[in-house]
């Protein structure tokens, strides 16, 4: 009997926003992923990168400003760097967790590029926040460099960049080959490095793709049984942040579409997760998408927690 396939998307909370937080987060995340491997799932892991890509871009721009001969790095290169260092921590954390349980299984990170449409409207309207919160003065200095910032009420200012839709995962055959070989693969980090196809060349795009949308695309491409999106909350809720807030445990595709149309989900946070879930579940049979927290992940996979879209 063929094994069941899981695409697991890790959010900020289970990854951290800086190096020390990332180390601590991976120590909590790796045992849960190892549980799934031990239970017989074939696992592909994807992850966030907005804090990290902003940090890398800022650090390299700062370095270039003070050292002759260096130039700021394009956002696409910073995205690739974020995949590398997050993948490095995740693959080592998971490898040792599996080994400590007597399981030898290769865990590797695939540097993943994802094509985007050069005419995607998102390029004309940057909306994705990246990096740390800044003061007004720091934000003005960013704007003066040609970057864009936005005020996040109560938190400060953040850079914003375009978030085009993922079109195709360039390294999908490598990802499928590793899953077929029953190996754990970390891929499509930060939604994948956004690239534009120009003849036989792939050119990096100055953007950051929503990782949940790419996770949904990946889940469709590898014909996963379950797309599990781990985030900061146990359940998706209706009337989020109001006294009438209500946790959802099950949603049909039609329910989810109706809630999306009614504006129930925040554009920058919950909407891409629900959209990814709907697109994945509608594209095949006997599929489920689950949105929940790391703490509830195991129970959610057994149908006992989280928000399930099926
Ligand atoms: N309808 C909703 N139900 C639950 N959480 C919501 C909803 N709308 C917005 N949120 C917020 O979305 C957050 C998760 O999104 P985000 O921070 O972008 O996640 P991640 O980094 O995990 O991908 C939750 O912590 C919650 O504050
Ligand atoms: N690329 C991306 O969606 O990252 P975050 O989840 O950190 O916003």
For ligand 1, atom 5, the nearest C-alpha belongs to 236
For ligand 1, atom 23, the nearest C-alpha belongs to 11
The residue among 85, 67, 3, 84 whose CA lies nearest residue 39 is: 3
User: How far apart are the CA of 232 and the centre of ligand 1, in A?
Assistant: 6
ipTM of the complex: 0.97
Q: How far apart are CA 247 and CA 24, in angstroms?
A: 29
Determine contact, residues 258/251, Cβ cutoff 8 Å.
Answer: no
User: How far apart are the CA of 236 and the centre of ligand 1, in A?
Assistant: 8
How large a percentage of the chain has pLDDT more than 90? 91
User: How far apart are the CA of 66 and the centre of ligand 1, in A?
Assistant: 38
> Which atom of ligand 1 lies nearest, measured to the CA of 237?
3
| β pairing state of 113-115 and 168-169 | antiparallel
Phi/psi class of residue 191: alpha, beta or left (left: φ > 0; alpha: ψ in -120 to 50)? left
Q: How far apart are CA 264 and CA 172, in angstroms?
A: 33
User: How far apart are the CA of 105 and the centre of ligand 1, in A?
Assistant: 33
Phi/psi class of residue 28: alpha, beta or left (left: φ > 0; alpha: ψ in -120 to 50)? alpha
Walk me through the domains of the chain, giving residue ranges and CATH numbers: 5-115+166-309 (3.40.1160.10)
Determine contact, residues 103/30, Cβ cutoff 8 Å.
Answer: no
**Per-residue model confidence (pLDDT) at position 1:** 53
- As for ligand 2, residues whose beta carbon falls within 6 Å of it are 11-12, 48-50, 190-191, 208-211
User: How far apart are the CA of 107 and the centre of ligand 1, in A?
Assistant: 29
Does the global pTM surpass 0.90?
A: yes
> Which ligand is closest to the CA of 269, given by its number?
1
DSSP character string of 253-282: HHHHHHHHHTT-S-TTTHHHHHHHHHHHHH
- As for ligand 1, residues whose beta carbon falls within 6 Å of it are 11-13, 48, 231-233, 236-237, 240, 264-266, 269-270
Residues of the chain with pLDDT under 50: none
User: How far apart are the CA of 77 and the centre of ligand 2, in A?
Assistant: 16
The pLDDT tens digits of the residues spanning 3-45 come to 899 999 999 888 888 889 999 999 999 999 999 999 999 999 9
> Which atom of ligand 2 lies nearest, measured to the CA of 210?
3
Q: What's the chain's average pLDDT?
A: 95
What's the CA angle centered on 187, arms 77 and 168, to 5 degrees? 80
For ligand 1, atom 17, the nearest C-alpha belongs to 269
């Amino acid at each position: 009997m063929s094994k069941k396939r899981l695409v697991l998307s890790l959010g900020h909370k289970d990854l951290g926003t800086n190096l020390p937080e990332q180390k601590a987060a991976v120590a909590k995340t790796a045992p849960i992923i190892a549980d799934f491997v031990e239970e017989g799932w074939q696992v592909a892991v994807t992850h966030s990168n907005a804090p990290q890509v902003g940090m890398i871009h800022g650090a390299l721009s700062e370095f270039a400003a003070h050292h002759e001969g260096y130039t700021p790095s394009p956002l696409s290169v910073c995205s690739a760097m974020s995949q590398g260092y997050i993948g490095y921590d995740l693959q080592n954390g998971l490898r040792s967790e599996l080994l400590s349980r007597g399981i030898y299984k290769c865990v590797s990170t695939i540097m993943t590029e994802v094509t985007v449409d050069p005419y995607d409207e998102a390029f004309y309207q940057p909306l994705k926040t990246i990096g740390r919160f800044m003061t007004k003065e720091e934000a003005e200095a960013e704007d003066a460099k040609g970057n864009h910032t936005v005020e996040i009420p109560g938190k400060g200012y953040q850079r914003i960049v375009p978030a085009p839709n993922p079109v195709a995962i360039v390294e999908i055959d490598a990802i499928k080959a590793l899953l077929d070989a029953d190996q754990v693969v970390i891929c499509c980090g930060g939604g994948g490095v956004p690239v534009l196809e120009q003849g036989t060349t792939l050119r990096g795009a100055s953007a950051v793709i929503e990782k949940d949308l790419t996770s949904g695309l990946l889940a469709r491409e590898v014909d996963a049984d379950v797309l599990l999106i781990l985030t900061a909350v146990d359940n998706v809720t209706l009337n989020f942040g109001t006294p009438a807030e209500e946790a959802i445990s099950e949603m049909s595709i039609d329910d989810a579409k109706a809630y999306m149309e009614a504006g129930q989900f925040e554009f920058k946070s919950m909407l891409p997760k629900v959209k990814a879930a709907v697109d994945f579940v509608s594209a095949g049979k006997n599929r489920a998408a689950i949105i929940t927290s790391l703490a509830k992940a195991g129970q959610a996979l057994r149908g006992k927690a989280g928000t399930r879209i099926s």
